[in-house]
Amino acid sequence: HVQLVESGGGSVQAGGSLRLSCSASGYEYSIQCMAWYRQVSGKEREGIAASAIGLAYRYLGDSVKGRFDVIRDSASNTLYLQMNDLRPGDTAMYYCAADLRGGPRCYDRVRGGMLDYGGRGTQVTVS
What are 17-40's pLDDT values in tens digits? 999 999 998 876 789 999 999 999
Q: How far apart are CA 24 and CA 105, in angstroms?
A: 21
What are 58-84's pLDDT values in tens digits? 999 999 999 999 999 988 889 999 999
